[in-house]
Amino acid sequence: MTGQVRTVDGRVAGRRGQATRQKLLDCLSEMLSSSPYRDVKVIDVARKAGTSPATFYQYFPDVEGAVLEIAEQMATEGAGLTELLEGRSWAGKSGWQTAQELVDGFLEFWRKNDAILRVVDLGAAEGDKRFYKLRMKILNSVNNSLADSIAELQAKGRVDKDVNPAAVAGSLVAMLAAVAAHQKGFSTWGVKQAELKPNLALLVHLGVTGKKPSK
Amino acid sequence: MTGQVRTVDGRVAGRRGQATRQKLLDCLSEMLSSSPYRDVKVIDVARKAGTSPATFYQYFPDVEGAVLEIAEQMATEGAGLTELLEGRSWAGKSGWQTAQELVDGFLEFWRKNDAILRVVDLGAAEGDKRFYKLRMKILNSVNNSLADSIAELQAKGRVDKDVNPAAVAGSLVAMLAAVAAHQKGFSTWGVKQAELKPNLALLVHLGVTGKKPSK
DNA sequence: TCGGTAAGCTGACGGCATGACAGGACAAGT
DNA sequence: ACTTGTCCTGTCATGCCGTCAGCTTACCGA
């Protein structure tokens, strides 16, 4: 499926090659966490990995290319977010729990990968299709599940006809992503992490079901 | 209040100086719209403005500094977003209209300034306090108004006690900002602009009042 | 009208990142 | 030890960064 890992000039990478390649990715990832995207230089990544810039260019066309690689790895991991919604109910107390767990899991995932997700977000916002698709891939699992839930409730007549499930789901997911990205921001806004979560869950619940949760 | 415009080395800028300074800002702004932030180079901006890189560095410490300047100008403009909520009611049909107009105005503002707002968002997410404060300055007008509205409804007993107005308001504003930043994204998700707005307005109304709007 | 002064701009330069290549180091099999 | 193919790096041309000295331009008082 994934095919073999190849260098820029077409060679297949062996065991050692893959190791240094991965090391470069790890170092880049670390670098992204500690300094602004704009200031991340190939030479710094190479130095940190104990190798030379030339080696970096053997495996990646540029910094952007390497970031895409990292993001791709994360995206497959992120598919696990579907579990947060699979087979869950939105009725009654269990609905409130579903919302809470979704918020919890989502924020946690974002917190773990915030550095790369920032860059993916930027790339997508700038209109780069590769980043755009990647962002979709990450969010689609949650988004589709949410949209399905809403559509289902709508079919049962428990949600208004003129609600567009995809639009609402997309907006809620965007909200979760944005809040996750600016979590630190809220704290200086006078909102503590612990307070934030239930309020987010409330908004999600309201959005999906159109009703306040029964706790 | 604003004091005089000064060059990096402390001279006060005269008429001509301010003109080129502004021209550099305009060109940078244009540049940000057409190419990725990471690839915007001082030399390109200078060339576009028909001047030399040295001139750029006379007025700004670096690209980031110039971006901050542009964002600052935009932030004062953005204070006008308060109007979208000032003296509006959240009751009955007028509540629905308030929500709609807020969404409309917000998306429009974002669409107009998307390039700079992208960069501000990135800077804030990366933890840069200057960008962070700027983002607050832009969003505060809307955020505070929303939080006040919620707190007011809460005082009247129309919103649950355990709702944190600041958290909900912040989340809703974050949602609006995120959706605005990825407006194009929704369209390929199968959601048209025109469909998106009412659904966003619905979510805002639900978040503020806890109830479905009466249209 | 004529300097004098400060603002405004640029050419040029050392320094560093980029990206390409060719050649040397290394591991594994024979 | 020798061969083979993978892997890494020294080196180089190119181009951007950020700074400086020095030149040009505008303003102002005498």
pLDDT digits (tens, 9 = 90+) for A65-118: 999 999 999 999 888 898 889 889 999 999 999 999 999 999 999 999 999 999
Q: Are both A166 and A141 inside the same structural domain?
A: yes
- Nucleotide in closest CA–C1' contact with A18: D7
Q: Percent of chain B beyond pLDDT 90?
A: 80
CB contact under 8 A, A196 and B171: yes
Instruction: Give the end of a domain, one of B33, B61, B89.
Output: B61
Mutate to test the interface with B, among A63, A110, A173, A182 (most CBs of B within 10 A): A182
What mean pLDDT, rounded, does chain B reach?
Answer: 93
- Looking up tokens 């966003």 gives B200
Q: Are both A133 and A30 inside the same structural domain?
A: no
Q: Are both A88 and A56 inside the same structural domain?
A: no
For residue B55, tell me if it sits in a domain: yes
Contacts of residue B27, Cβ cutoff 8 Å, sequence gap at least 6: B45, B48, B49
pLDDT digits (tens, 9 = 90+) for B167-187: 999 999 999 999 999 988 888
* Confidence band of A2 (pLDDT split at 50, 70, 90): very low
* Confidence band of A3 (pLDDT split at 50, 70, 90): low
Contact B93, B215 (CB under 8 A): yes
Q: What's the average model confidence in pLDDT over B30-39?
A: 96
Chain B residues 139-168 with Cβ under 7 Å of strand C are: none
Would you state the pLDDT for residue B3?
66
Instruction: Give the end of a domain, one of B39, B61, B83.
Output: B61
pLDDT digits (tens, 9 = 90+) for A194-212: 899 999 999 999 999 999 9
| Count: domains in chain B | 2
A14 CB contact with strand C at below 7 Å:
no
B175 CB contact with strand C at below 7 Å:
no
* CATH at residue A78: 1.10.357.10
Q: Are both B25 and B110 inside the same structural domain?
A: no
Nearest residue on chain B to A169, judged by CA atoms?
Answer: B199
CB contact under 8 A, A166 and B189: yes
Q: Percent of chain A beyond pLDDT 90?
A: 78
C-alpha A134/C-alpha A120 separation (Å) is: 8
Nearest CA among B207, B201, A31 for reference residue B215: B201
For residue B214, tell me if it sits in a domain: no
pLDDT digits (tens, 9 = 90+) for B61-101: 999 999 999 999 999 988 889 999 988 999 999 999 999 99
Would you state the pLDDT for residue A57?
94
Domain, as residue range, for B11: 1-61
C-alpha A121/C-alpha A147 separation (Å) is: 21
* CATH at residue A53: 1.10.10.60
Window 178-197 of A: residues touching B by CB (8 A cutoff) are 178-179, 181-182, 184-186, 188-191, 195-196
pLDDT digits (tens, 9 = 90+) for A37-76: 999 999 999 999 999 999 999 999 999 999 999 999 999 9
Q: What's the average model confidence in pLDDT over A182-199?
A: 86
CB contact under 8 A, B185 and A210: no
> Number of CB pairs < 8 Å for A and B?
153
* Residue A173 CA to its chain's centroid (Å): 10
